[in-house]
Structure 1
Amino acid sequence: MTVRYALYAAPPPDDPLWSFGSDTIGYDAATARALAFPSGAPFDAPDWAALTDDPRRYGFHGTLKAPFALADGFGEADLMEAAMLFAERRPAFTVKALEVVSLKSFVALVPAERSDDLHALADDCVRVFDGFRAPTSEADRARRLKSPLTERQIAQLDQWGYPYVFDDFRYHMTLTGSLPEERRAPVAAALAARYRPIAAPFRVDALVLFRQEARDRQFTILARFPFEG
């Protein structure tokens, strides 16, 4: 059994954004409980559970440091202490707006415009916490290489354990798995309509540590470290 961890930016569980994302994927990572999908489009599609299987495994989130197993010599307490110290020095900031878009083959919430603060946070998380990361397994590397990656992204995968970092980073909060091309626009439009009533600036005020007990288990929130810088 290999426990994995991930560092995410995610709204608190009492935020309407958290409810929207968790309801959409049918899982609340704060309580580790399955959720019934809301009524109406797009949730009434008979295959909606299958279409959200992938994001349901990870919980509603936006990645800062992608999932990793701990390197030899480190324990969970070490990672938690480092995350707490990191957050204590970090200032909170606000992303002005999020929007629902079709991103490649899936639908996600993304910043409506680039946030330099968000990019800087992700860049620092990639670097600061990489010492805790066990080397990427051959199986995980092979799985990543099934996606079309540039030479730079392959190099980043090998160095940092994840191809989409630094200049290739795009913060997104995944709402679906891969969709057939003809369904992407309708699903994005339906989710955008659902999101519109609760749309608000996204306050990034904590580093959220998620934990996965085993590969066949869902991620859950282990701890939330408020930014105090």
Structure 2
Amino acid sequence: MAPRFALYTAPPADHPLHRFAAQWLGWDPETGETPPPQPAAGLPAARIAALTADPRQYGFHGTLKPPFYLAEGCDEAQLIMALERFAESRKPLHVPLKMAALGSFLALRPAAPMPALDQLAADCVRDFDRFRAPPSEQELARRRAAGLSERQEQYLRDWGYPYVLEEFRLHFTLTGRIADEAERAAVLAYLTEQTAALTRRDVELDDLCLFVQGEPGAPFRIAGRYAFGG
């Protein structure tokens, strides 16, 4: 099966937020290490492992262009060359982050509106769309099952993903969906406390990350970082 690619933003491996998230999720996309889950928020390690199962597969990141298979006639070398050129023209961004609940899952979100960040994501969606193969009918059905607005449905058809452009909201996911409100509140309080010191200063996003999933079900790994400004 062909690999799947994604364009993400992620703190560097030596950033304390990266180290915390790798331990929390049980997966480090930079090193491939799998730290064992630990009890937290009054919950046993097995429950933490269950709550982090979905984001664990992708690694700690903020999505700029969602996962895609390469279009016919495109290869990884061409994608990398385009990434290098794209990154050369960009400037680092300093992003204030805070913990938040997004529906029933928890994530770090920008603490204030950031038009420059929204523009970066929109440019990634548009500029790299020539590399994206059309989604399968199965993928389209999975997206539609969540219930899409008219605009989201149009974006799904145009860009292969419903939450782009005006629908884009950067987030660094730390849990899957937590249906129980009391449990969700307890985990949110725990993560807010744990990340407070790590997000006291703005997080500098100074490169574009190429994440690769080698085969279906495998976790994504960071295959390259492309520095803004060259």
- TM-score normalised by L of structure 1: 0.96
Match of 2:203 in 1: 202
Q: Report the count of equivalent residues.
A: 228
Match of 2:225 in 1: 224
Give me the whole-angstrom Cα distance separating, in 2, the residues matched to 1:161 and 1:152: 13
Match of 1:37 in 2: 37
Give me the whole-angstrom Cα distance separating, in 2, the residues matched to 1:2 and 1:105: 32
- The AA in structure 2 aligned to 1:104 is G
Report the 3-state secondary structure (helix = DSSP H, G, I; strand = E; otherwise coil) of the residue aligned with 1:32. Answer: coil
Structure 2 spans left out of the alignment, 5+ residues: none
RMSD across aligned C-alpha pairs, in angstroms? 1.3
CA displacement 1:51-70 (0-9 Å, x = unmatched): 11100010110000000000
Deviation of 1:184 after TM superposition, in Å, equals: 1.6
Report the 3-state secondary structure (helix = DSSP H, G, I; strand = E; otherwise coil) of the residue aligned with 2:46. Answer: coil
- How do 1:172-183 residues align onto structure 2 when only pairs under 5 Å count? 172-182=171-181, 183=183
Match of 2:163 in 1: 164
CA displacement 1:39-59 (0-9 Å, x = unmatched): 542663531111111000101
Match of 1:152 in 2: 151
**Residues 11 and 42 of structure 1: CA distance in aligned 2, closer, same or farther (over 3 Å):** farther
- How do 1:76-87 residues align onto structure 2 when only pairs under 5 Å count? 76-87=76-87
Deviation of 1:214 after TM superposition, in Å, equals: 1.1
- Asked if the contact 1:24/1:43 (under 8 Å) is kept, the reply is no
- Asked if the contact 1:211/1:219 (under 8 Å) is kept, the reply is yes
List 4+ stretches of structure 1 deviating above 4 A. none
CA displacement 1:137-179 (0-9 Å, x = unmatched): 1010001011021010011011101100111100000000111
Deviation of 1:195 after TM superposition, in Å, equals: 0.5
Match of 1:47 in 2: 47
Match of 1:127 in 2: 126
Structure 1 spans left out of the alignment, 5+ residues: none
Match of 2:69 in 1: 69
- Asked if the contact 1:92/1:203 (under 8 Å) is kept, the reply is yes
Report the 3-state secondary structure (helix = DSSP H, G, I; strand = E; otherwise coil) of the residue aligned with 2:140. Answer: helix
- The AA in structure 2 aligned to 1:112 is A
- Asked if the contact 1:42/1:191 (under 8 Å) is kept, the reply is no
**Identity across aligned pairs (percent)?**
46
- Asked if the contact 1:29/1:221 (under 8 Å) is kept, the reply is yes
- Asked if the contact 1:70/1:134 (under 8 Å) is kept, the reply is yes
- TM-score normalised by L of structure 2: 0.95
- How do 1:136-147 residues align onto structure 2 when only pairs under 5 Å count? 136-147=135-146
